[in-house]
Structures are given as C-alpha cells and as structure tokens.
Structure 1
Amino acid sequence: MCGIYLTNLDRSALQIKNDLKKIEFRGPDNLSVKKYNNSVYLAHLRLSIIDLDKRSNQPYEFDNLTITYNGEIYNFGTIKNELISQGYVFETESDTEVLIKAYHAWGQNMLNKLNGMFAFAIYDIVNQKVFCARDRLGQKPFYYFWGNGKVEICSSPKSMHKATKISQEGINIYLSAGYIPSSFSIFENIKKLEAGKFLVFDLNKNTLEEETYWDLKSLKRKSKITYESAKEKLDDLLEDAIKIRMVSDVPLGSFLSGGVDSSVVSLIANNHAKNKLKTFTVKFSEKELDESEEANDFAKNIDSDHKTYLCDENELINSIDDLFIAFDEPFSDSAMIPMLMLCKKVQNETTVCLSGDGGDESFLGYNHFDWVKKFNPLLKIPRKIRILITPFFKPLLSKKHFDYLKNIFFLRNINDFIINIFLNFIVINKNYDTSWAKSYYHSFYKSNHILQKTADINIKLWLEGNNNVKVDRASMYSSVEIRNPFLDYRIIEFARELPVSFRYSGKNRKIILKDILQNKLDKIKLNKPKKGFTVPISKWIKGPLKTDIEKIFIKKELQKIPNLDYKKVLCYFKQHIHGKADFSHIIWRVYVLCKWLKYNG
C-alpha cells in the first residue's frame, strides 16, 4: 500500500515532504515529490509489493500523464496483455504502469476493467486536468479539498494543508454512528470521495465533475439458479478471487480466525501457494473472545505454516494510544484494537495478508440480520399505536432496555430501523439530526427482500465507512497490506443475486459458504457461535481505563464537544461503573472522540 498526494496550492516540496512524513508508515520504502507546469505537485509514499525496483517508484510518468496511486490492481496482467495487443510497450512489471497506460488508452472507461482496491490521481500535464477514482467498495482512502480553483488530495488529512478546522457536522455524525462515512470528514472543507465514483478537476476552467461508475444493481427478477449451480459458480469465483490476490513480490500470508470466511480464504490460498501458506491468529486471555483453538485445529487440517500470537490485556491496553495516530478520524469500533495488534505482530513475518473481511455482508453472517427479521413485524404496527403503548413497558424493563425499545418504537418504519443498526439506537446528540444519512436510503429500493435490503445498506454505509477503514488504517500503521477476496466485486454482485435462502435460514447463516468449505474439507465443525474479533471494553471501562476516563468525563471537558448531551453520557458512565447497565459502546465512543481530539484537534 501507499500514500498519495496532489496539490496546486502555493506550497514547497519540503513542506509537502514534511507533512507526508506524518503518515510515512503508509509507504516507508520511498518518498518522492515532483512539480509540473511550475504549479502542480504530485507526491507518493511507497510500500513496495510488486516490482520492487526503483523504476516503479511514483509519481510515474507516461506521455503527458503522471500518476500517484495507492492500491493493487489484481487483474493487471490481463489488462497489460490487452494493452500490449494494442501496441503499448512496458518498461516495468508494476500495476502502476498498467494503470496509467490503461487510462491513456481508454480514459475513464478503463475503470470498468479494473478489479482491485485503489485510490489514485492522474494529472494531464497538457490539458490541465486531474482524473481521480476510488475502488468500488471504498477499500482505499481518498480525501480532497476543492475551492476557488485550488485542489489538495491525500490518503490522509493528517498531511493536508487545508485540514485545519474540526467540523461540527463531522462530530455530530460521529456521535451518531461512531465513524464518519463518505463523503463527510472530521475536518471542514475536506471531503472523502465515495466508493465507486470518480472526479475530474479542470484546472483551466476551475470546474469539478463527479460521477458514479459502479453501484449495487437493482434486483428486479428472482434468480432461477439451482443451489448446486450456485455452489459451483461461487466456488469458481472464490478460487479466482483468491488466486489473483496472491500475486506479490514480498512474503504473503493469511489471517485465520477459525470462522467460516477466513477458513475458506486460507484453505484455497494454501492450495494455490507454492510453499506452505503462512497463517496467523491471535490468542486472547479471555476465553469468551478467544478463537485460537479453532484456528489451530483448522491450520492442522489444511497443513499451513501456522503461528499464534498471544495478546494479553496489558499489551492491548498499552496499544490504545497508537489508535489516535493510526486513524485519520475518530473511530470507535473496538475491533480496531486487536486488528492493530495483529498487524503489528505479523509485520516481521509478512508484508501482505489475505483476510476474510466482507463475507458477513454478502452471506448474511451478522447478528443484526436476526434483529431485522424479529423487529420487522413489530414495525408494521402503525407508529401512533407503538408510541401509545411504549410507556407500559417502562416498569418491565431496565432503563437501558427501555431507552432502546422507546427509540425503536418511535421509528417510522423498518428502513429507519436498518439505518439505526449502523448508527445507534441510543441518542447522545443534543439535537439529533441524521439528515446526512438520507443519501443511503436509495439502497433500500434495489431489492424487495428485507434481509437483502439490510445487506445492501451494510455494504454501502458500514462496510465502506467502518470495516474498510478499520482494516486499512490498522494494517497501514504497521506497513502491512491486507487483501480481501470477499470484496471482489464479482462475488458481491453474484451473492446479491442468490436467493436469500441459499445464504440464510433461521440460525443457520452463510449456508452456501459452509457447504463449499465442507466439500473441500471433510470432518470440520462449522456451527460454533461467532465470537467476533473484539476486546472486553465493558470490563476495561470498569478497570484499567477507569481512571483515564474519569479524568475526561467531567462537565468541563465534555461541554467542549459540540452537540454532545454530556449529562446523559455522565449518567450512562455512572450506571455502567455501578453495574446497573452496560453502556460501554457509548462510553467508548465518547472516550475515543475526546482522546482523538487531544491528539489531532
């Protein structure tokens, strides 16, 4: 992976270099800054993965074009052969050269040919245009400023000259969701390019165009594919998606949790590896969170070169401060802690790791699919009736559970419920405004099935805004590249067209994936409860984090946060400490914001 930068602001190469050193972990192998037309700078931080020679350093130039690019184009070999057939000659073995020449040959239409994760900017030196794009699922970050003909683009706002003032809108969104989805950011005047979109900056005309080149398609017809045909087709897609993600000139391994998704990836990758595949897992001291035993058993079954890393409580807690350096914006998914630690552990073993992230979205593996199924009938009751009967539940429930129920019953419909799964059913904003989320509602109309609607919002909102951010920032902090086969757009598209019954039936989830895995490896247990990849935040708040939180959770400090209902937060903290209710996700969310602002604000 890498870090990109482009600007026509009045800056010097030295200033740009110094700013990019703040995110040097994104590309420790090379830092270059070049100036064009005496006005436009392109810069690049390189983490060398393919063609390690300096000839592939960036910015990379061809004809009147120059590029700064972050990511991997997994099918670059196929595209390269197509370009060769058209007369193009290649000087390197890198996907960077393929990318710039693909744009030279086909312009923006080349985006439809790309299979990968990417964020890039191509500057046309003659026509004074900047063409930028981000991958279909938003795996790689892209921040930008645009105003009065001035542009600044970067992989992180930490290195942006224009990222100076904290956005109150960004804080409001974070308090609602625990992350800040595209196109918003924590900084005023800084935006994130949304997944599946491209930009064209015309520096002569001072104009900006934004267009969508990929989105989830409407599922108008029921699929007639048989289950056996679906299994065969999905198996072929998985084999290819994993195989093309194993191209690397540096050591490659695979994360293995013991769950279905990482097991499928590790098994197929091991079959394609020249030598034994290196697999890695984390062992937690808390048995209720630990899946290392399952991972070890699976590694023995596939005969991989397996390594288990012990992460004790003190080590994990001591790594928390690293979060506020690694993450460009406040981010409260506690799974970022073990992910950060795992990447730190493996950096001496491998530079590239495969992962099973993304399988839950397409194959309906999360618990919230059960929630939607259960609450859908209740939310069909007219809202006025739900509001009228809500007070009768107060004596029967704890304050926490009553607050949850009240907020759910006051929702307009099941669509609002689904959106709130990825935000929060407990409100800590003084003025609760989720108008920013309206742009995601169009995804509800792409399917008629309530669980597929949920999966679509999962992909468009949470996957891009939360999960992909966690994976990218945690891995880049240790200069490790993570590749996710389940985020191959072909798998996303194919899975959406499958009948829900092929993927979900009551308590049985990921049905078709389990069957594919069972066919490849006999005598494997696949129905153990999902533990998730997280840490005991609730316990830590009462223990080792309590003193630090108490220093922050005082009226004087919390009042500084715009639109935060600090009285409610302090009440929740008190109840949590005294064991009356578990408000750990709320407390952690506010704690992370306060700490992040201290480090970055």
Structure 2
Amino acid sequence: MVCGIAGFERHLAESDLRKFEPVLKHRGPDYTGYYQDEEFSFIHWRLAIIDLSDNANQPYCFENLVLLFNGELFNYREVSEELKQYGYEFVTNSDTEVLIKAFHCWKTEAIKKFIGMFSFSLYDTHSKEIFLYRDRVGVKPLYFSLKRGLSFASELRMLKCLLPTVSIDNVALHQYFRFGYVPGDRTIFSEIKKLRPGQFLKYHKGVTEIRTWWSPFNADSRGAYQLDNPQEELEKLLVSAFKYRMVADVPVGIFLSGGIDSSLLATLLQHHSSQKIQTFTIGFDDEKFDETKYAKQVAQRLNTQHVDLRLGIRQAEDLFNGFYDVYDEPFSDTSGIPMALVSQLAKANGVKVVLSADGADELFGGYAHYIRINRWINLFNTWPAWMRKLSGKALKGFVPPWVRSNLSMLNLEHRISRLEELLQSPDAISFYESAISNQSQGSVDRLIKNRIVPVSMMVNTQGYDQEKMMNWDLQYYLPDDLLMKVDRATMYSSIEGREPFLDHRVVEFSKLLPLSSKIDATNTGKAILRKILYKYHPAELFDRPKQGFSIPIFNWFNKRLDEYFRVYLSKEALSKTEVLDSDTVQTEMRKYLYYKQRGKDYNIEKMWRILSFMMWKERWMK
C-alpha cells in the first residue's frame, strides 16, 4: 500500500495528534491510523492497494514491533510462503503483514528478500529502537530531522509542521539554482534531510546511525545473471519486473508517451496479458511538444484501452497556480505540470495504480546529452590539463564577472561563464555537472546573497565517462527530480505510481552490460532496449528525436504568463526574500525582455527557476 507516514519523538494528547490528519491526507484518504507510547507518536495515512480490508490498516503491530509502511512488496506472496515454513501464520492478504513478520524472523537481513518500492519505519517497543528504510533506487521518499529528537515523514510539509522553526539551507539553494532541484541528502531546509536510496537509519536514545544496505555500484549486492545472451536475459527480467508491477487489488494503468521506454513497457505487458491494459497520454497544442499521435499508433497496434488529453494554456495555468500545492520544495522541472494532469486523468478514469517508464534512460544511456557532452570532454582533453586551467583563468580575467553579467547579446554571459567553468573542471564528473547546469557557480553566487563554497557531488567513478554520467543521474537526477515528481504528482491525486524499469534486478543487470550494449557504434542510446522493442514493432515507428515530458514553457510565458514575472519578481517582492540579490534578478529580467523582443528564449529557464523559487517561498515560508 502506498501511503503517507510520519513519526516523532514525543507524546501528544490524542486530540493534538489528530490535528495532523489533513497534512498528508492526499497520500492516504482511505484510513488514518495512530500509535503512541510514552516516547513516540506515529501516524499512517492509507491508500489501499493490496488487501482492501480493514485488517491491513496501519500502524501494524506484531508482538514487540510497530510498522509504518509506504510502498509495495511485489513478491510478498513468495516471501510469505517462506515464512510459513518457519511457523508463521497470516491473518491478512497484505504485504504489510509479510514485511513485519519477515523482520521478526530474519531481522535486518529481511530487507534483501524483497522486490519492491518502499519507505518504512519499524519500532521495537522493547528496546525503543527505530529503524527507517528506503528502497534501493529511491522510488518512495523519506525525510527526517534530528532537531528536538527524531522525526520523519513521507513529505517535507509534514516535518515543517512538526518543527518550530526552519531555515533555508544555502548550499541546497545554490544547488537548486544550478540543477533545478535539490540533489543528495539535503533539502531546502537546514534542519531536514533525506534518507538516500538504499540507506537505513537506526535511532536509539539520541544516537543516530546511517548505513547503506544496497548500492548499484557494489558488486557484492548483485544477484547472479546469465550473460551468454544478454538481450534474451534482459527481456526475461523486464517481463518479470513489469508483471510484478501489475500486482494489485485495484485497476492499473500505464503512462504511454509513444517513446521507446513506455512503448516497451506497454508492449511486453500486453503481450503477456490476456486482458486489455489501460494507457494514458497527455498532449499539447504545440505540435513540437506533442506525442499523442505516436502514443495512439502504439496503443492501436497493441489494442490497449487508450485515453488521451490535450493540455492547453488554460489548464496549464490552473495547474501552474497550484504547482506548489503539489510540490513542497523548490522544483523547476516543468514536466511536473503535465505529470500532475495525467495523474488526474488516470484517477478520473477509475485507475488507482499507474506505471511510469522512468529510469530506462539512466540505466541504458538514453539521453542525447551523454553523447554530446562526451564529445566535449574528448575535445577538451586534447589540451593538457594545465593549459585548460590557465585558459579558464585567462578568460575570467579578460571578461570579468561584472562585465559579462551585463552582456545581453547572444546570451554571452551564460556561454562565457560556462566555458570558463568547463575549462577548469578537474575531472569528467565535475565537467558533467557544469555542462548540465543551468547556471555557472559564479552566476549563482551573484544571484544568492549568502554565497557558499561549492560542495563536491560524490558519485561512482568507475567506467567510461558516459557511464559516469549515467551513474551521476542514477544517484541524483533520477531520485531527486524524476521520482520525486512522480511521487508527488500521483499521490496528490491519491493514486499510486510504480516504476517497472527500476526493479533492482534490472538495475543490477544493466551494470553488468558493456557500454556498447547501451550506446552503440552509431551513437544510438538504449541500443539493447531498441532491439527488444523492434521484435514487436517496426523501427520506423520510433525513428525520431527524444522529446521527454516537457511543456512549451517559452511559448506560454510569451503569450500569457509574463504577469507572473511582473508580480513575483518586482523590486518590492524581491526585497522581502532576504536570499536573492534584487539587482541581479532585475538584470535577468531586462535580458529576458530583450531576448523576447527578438524571438529568443536564451534565459527563460533561468527566469523560470527564479520565479519558481519565489512562488515556493510565498506558499511555504509564510
């Protein structure tokens, strides 16, 4: 059951505890449960997916254990059969009961038995120990704070209610303006952290221990896989992973874009199902961004039960106005708008579980920028390191920041600043971070009043440069942007989002494949996935550039949304932020208007990030 969970280290009167019920009610409208002892309080909001009876309500207790569980264990039936051999009996048909009894039987080793997505807390009423776990790749979120003892929750908004005061983390703010989201274990608030994918936290009498229980880069945690015929083996794994994600006692649907990943998901599921699957697509009035015709072609070939909806400016404005009701942390991925709408569409059609195809690009080299940035690295590496570093310093002296910040022509300020940073990058990972960043370190320093020393982003450094890029995205972009977006958008509509490509067996298998199986000699990404898909569909159906799930933001801002800039980025509004430099923002505004008059959108993404932050601040920092 995908739900909302929260816990904190203090006892409250029952009436005070129940005041928190509305905060995460959208995550679990079916039932709200409570558990307290003299030291801890726990709340669970249930969205019933497996075993819809009241017997599976939470918090779930068994002997000395109390469980708050958000997620699904797709192989719970197999694990329950194994537990029966140890004498355990079951009174429900839920994965919740299997989870708590597995830990009762096997202690912390139990976690390795599960195929699933989850975040959960396990409280031992005898020892007073609390364990927090997050799934292997971070499909389900878990936030915690150690201010005033331990507190944790599925969303940031709940912890903000629990803490008396919060303050903005300047490093996180810097990262937001660089990447469009807050990566790693930080959140926008200094007092609140994320439990990272594959980690668990143990808390006992004020002492906290955080460890990694699974990592895609740790060979010891991988299973045994056959590599004699990798394409055949991968297809078997995908079929198993996809079918597991259909386990539910409620209707299930698929987000279908018509691209490689979602088409492969729908194809394998439909070919291994006797019933019509349901597919959903969002389209746009702007044909450059619209993929509905491709999705329809795939749906017709598979004979799915297909529904599509076009997102226009009016619907987008409604969602835009409520963007930070859905997302509770600064977040500038514009695909959050159509994701919220397609979740509403699925719910309106009676679906309670939806499957998304996130993760395939990061695992199998699907992003075009892996190829483009690798070419840049190879070009830069033709120069000795000392020459690159010297050239970067010379560029900084030749066009100092105070000069470039006022350059309007051809977006020169951004281009010069990024080139300077790329020239001085000491390794492929820092080069990649600079290449994908919307703003250079120096540009962000000028924007934020409280400047910081850049924090190194740690990542697995093995393999070719393109593999390092994929690993970076797997560690940061995937869990902290894409999966966070899907979780918030689906849960806000009280439906469950599942990620079949992120079955840990598929992730582990992808790490055993050579780079040539992912990006082939023709620089075509997801090569092995394409070979599987082309067994069922003609290649011409997918012979087009990857579009993603973004919206035509410049066209819409150009027509309707400039008013938001005038309201939120006025000198009066900026004077109240305390963190942004008003003069820098006003300079960007002048550039935006200059570019707009000439039909260019050079700094629209930067403007959107500033606006998005201001909207978040108004909603969540009052």
CA RMSD of aligned residues (A): 2.3
2:209 maps to 1:192: no
Instruction: Give the partner amino acid of 1:586.
Output: K
- Give the Å deviation of 1:557: 2.6
- Name the residue aligned to 1:175: 177
SS of 1:585 mapped into structure 2: helix
User: Which letter does structure 1 place at the counterpart of 2:297?
Assistant: D
Q: Distance in 1 between matches of 2:452 and 2:592?
A: 26
SS at match of 1:31: strand
Q: Any unmatched runs of 5+ in structure 2? A: none
Cα offset, 1:65, TM superposition? 0.6
Q: Which moved more, 1:427-436 or 1:347-356?
A: 427-436
Say whether 1:416 aligns with 2:418. Answer: no
CA distance in 1, matches of 2:8, 2:219: 41
Match of 2:444 in 1: 428
523 and 425 in structure 1: CA distance in 2 versus 1, 3 angstrom threshold: closer
Question: How many angstroms apart in 2 are the aligned matches of 1:423 and 1:110?
Answer: 40
1:73 aligns with: 73
Residues 398 and 58 from structure 1, CA distance in 2 versus in 1: closer, same or farther, beyond 3 angstroms?
A: closer
Whether the 8 Å CA contact 1:197–1:211 is kept in 2: the answer is yes
Say whether 1:19 aligns with 2:20. yes
- 1:441 paired to 2:458: yes
- Cα distance 1:17–1:141, how it changes in 2: closer, same or farther (>3 A)? farther
Q: CA deviation at 1:116?
A: 1.1
TM-score of the pair, normalised by structure 1: 0.93
Deviation at 1:77, TM superposition (A): 1.4
Alignment of 1:597 onto 2:614: no
Q: How does 1:237-386 map to 2 (within 5 A)?
A: 237-349=237-349, 350-380=351-381, 381=383, 382=385, 383-386=388-391
User: Which stretch of structure 1 is more off in the superposition, 332-341 or 159-168?
Assistant: 159-168
Q: Per the alignment, do residues 132 and 305 of structure 1 end up closer, same or farther by CA in structure 2, a change over 3 Å counting?
A: same
1:501 shift after superposition: 1.0
Partner SS state of residue 185, structure 2: coil
AA paired with 2:613?
A: L
In 1, the alpha carbon distance for the partners of 2:193 and 2:393 equals 42
Cα separation, 2, equivalents of 1:498 and 1:581:
39
* Conserved 8 A contact 1:175-1:429: no
Asked if residue 155 in structure 1 is aligned to residue 171 in structure 2, the reply is no
Letter in 1 for 2:619: Y
Change beyond 3 A, Cα 1:512–1:434 = farther
SS for the counterpart of 2:551 is coil
Q: Deviations over 1:20-77 (max 9, x none)?
A: 31221111101111212x3321110000100000100000011111111101111111
Partner of 1:404: 418
Aligned to 2:119: 119
Specify whether residues 69 and 227 from structure 1 end up closer, same or farther in structure 2 by C-alpha distance, changes over 3 A only.
closer
| Paired residues of 1:180 and 1:465 also in contact (CA < 8 A) | yes
CA separation in 1, counterparts of 2:12 and 2:226? 60
The answer to whether the 8 A contact 1:219-1:497 is kept is: no
State the distance in 2 between where 1:422 and 1:404 align. 10
The letter of the residue matching 1:595 is: M
The AA in structure 2 aligned to 1:384 is K
What is the deviation of 1:315?
A: 0.4
Q: Deviations over 1:400-433 (max 9, x none)?
A: 4333323322433322111234543433233654
Q: In the alignment, is the contact (CA less than 8 A) between 1:13 and 1:34 conserved in 2? A: no
The corresponding residue for 2:490 is 475
Cα distance in 2 between the residues matched to 1:25 and 1:272 = 33
Is the Cα–Cα contact under 8 Å of residues 115 and 504 in structure 2 kept in the other structure?
yes
- Output the amino acid matched with 1:449: Y
Deviation at 1:226, TM superposition (A): 10
Find the aligned partners of 1:120 and 1:132 in 2 and give their Cα distance.
6
Question: Aligned AA for 2:444?
Answer: I
Structure 2 partner of 1:529: 545
Any conservation in 1 of the 2:313–2:556 contact (CA below 8 Å)? no
Q: Select which of 368, 373, 392 maps to 1:387.
A: 392
- Deviation, 1:576, is 2.0
Amino acid across the alignment from 1:535: I
Match among 543, 552, 557 for residue 541 of structure 1? 557
What SS does the aligned partner of 1:318 have? helix
Structure 1 distance, partners of 2:517, 2:53, is 46
In 1, are the aligned partners of 2:459 and 2:471 still within 8 Å (CA)? no
3-state SS of paired residue (2:458): helix
Identity between Structure 1 and Structure 2 (%): 31
- String of CA shifts for 1:488-521, please: whole Å, max 9, x gaps: 1111111122111111134411111011011133
1:178 alignment partner AA:
G
> Structure 1 163/502 Cα, relative in aligned 2: closer, same or farther at 3 Å?
farther
Partners of 1:243 and 1:201 lie apart in 2 by: 36
1:194 counterpart letter in structure 2: R
Gap change, CA 1:315 and 1:373, over 3 Å in 2 = same
Distance change (3 Å), C-alpha of 1:581 and 1:239: closer
- Alpha-carbon distance in structure 1 between the residues aligned to 2:427 and 2:212: 29
Q: How many residues align?
A: 589
**Match of 2:90?**
90
Specify whether residues 175 and 404 from structure 1 end up closer, same or farther in structure 2 by C-alpha distance, changes over 3 A only: same
Q: Structure 1 pair 562/273, CA: closer, same or farther in 2 (3 Å)?
A: farther
Task: Please state how far the C-alpha of 1:152 moved relative to its aligned partner.
Answer: 1.2
Contact (CA 8 Å) 2:439, 2:606: kept in 1 or not? Answer: no
Q: Could you say what secondary structure the match of 1:189 adopts?
A: coil
- Between stretches 469-478 and 550-559, larger displacement belongs to 550-559
Q: Does 1:498 align with 2:513?
A: yes
Summarize deviations over 1:321-348 as a string: whole Å, max 9, x none: 2220111211111110110111011112
SS state at 1:199 partner: strand
Judge which range, 589-598 or 15-24, deviates more. Answer: 15-24
Deviation at 1:215, TM superposition (A): 1.2
Determine the C-alpha separation between the residues in 1 that align with 2:436 and 2:24.
29
For residue 390 of structure 1, report the CA deviation from its aligned partner: 4.2
Partners of 1:298 and 1:357 lie apart in 2 by 18
- Compared with structure 1, are the counterparts of its residues 401 and 188 closer, same or farther at alpha carbon in structure 2 (3 Å cutoff)? closer
Work out whether residues 182 and 193 of structure 1, in 8 Å CA contact, stay in contact via their aligned partners in 2. Answer: no
Instruction: Name 1:213's counterpart in structure 2.
Output: 213
- By how many angstroms is 1:218 displaced? 5.6
CA distance in 2, matches of 1:460, 1:182: 8
Offset, 1:522: 4.5
Q: Judging changes above 3 Å, is the alpha-carbon distance between structure 1 residues 560 and 261 closer, same or farther for their aligned structure 2 residues?
A: same
Range with bigger deviation, 323-332 or 577-586? 577-586
Q: What's the offset of the Cα at 1:539?
A: 2.2
The question of whether the paired residues in 2 share the 8 Å contact of 1:9 and 1:152 is answered with no
Aligned to 1:587: 607
Shift of the alpha carbon at 1:476?
0.6
User: Which amino acid counterpart does residue 584 of structure 2 have in structure 1?
Assistant: K
Residue range with higher mean Cα deviation, 86-95 or 8-17: 8-17
- Runs of 4+ more than 6 Å apart: 225-228, 391-396
